[in-house]
Amino acid sequence: MSNSSVQYRTIEVKGLNLFYREAGNPEAPTILLLHGYPTSSHMFRNLIPILSQQFHVIAPDLPGFGYSDAPDHQDFEYTFDNLAGTMQGFMEKLGMKRLALYIFDYGAPVGLRLAMANPEKITGIISQNGNAYEEGLSQEWNPIRQYWKEPTQANRESLRDFVSEKATWFQYHEGVPDSSLIAPETYTLDQHFLDRPGNIEIQLDLVRDYKTNVELYPAFHRYFRKYQPNLLLVWGNKDPYFLPVGAEAYKKDLPEAILKFYDTGHFALETHAAAIGSEILDFMHLLPR
Give start and end residues of each alpha helix (H) in 124-198. 142-149, 153-157, 165-173, 184-194
pLDDT values of the chain reduced to their tens digit, one per residue, 289 residues = 356 699 999 999 999 999 999 999 999 999 999 999 999 999 999 999 999 999 999 999 999 999 999 999 999 999 999 999 999 999 999 999 999 999 999 999 999 999 999 999 999 999 999 999 999 999 999 999 999 999 999 999 999 999 999 999 999 999 999 999 999 999 999 999 999 999 999 999 999 999 999 999 999 999 999 999 999 999 999 999 999 999 999 999 999 999 999 999 999 999 999 999 999 999 999 999 8
Residue 184 exposed, middle or buried by CB count within 10 Å (0-12, 13-18, 19+) = exposed
Rounded Cα–Cα distance for residues 258 and 232 (Å): 5
Q: What is the pLDDT of residue 1?
A: 38
Q: What is the pLDDT of residue 289?
A: 84
* Catalytic-role residue among 35, 42, 56, 266: 266
Q: What is the pLDDT of residue 75?
A: 97
The C-alpha R_g of the chain, in whole angstroms, comes to: 18
Rounded Cα–Cα distance for residues 286 and 289 (Å): 9
Domains detected in the chain: 7-284 (3.40.50.1820)
Is the separation of the CB atoms in 196 and 70 below 8 Å? yes
* Nearest by Cα to 72 from 191, 203, 198, 205: 198
Q: Is 73 a catalytic residue?
A: no
Predicted TM-score (pTM) of this structure: 0.97
* Nearest by Cα to 189 from 42, 9, 18, 34: 42
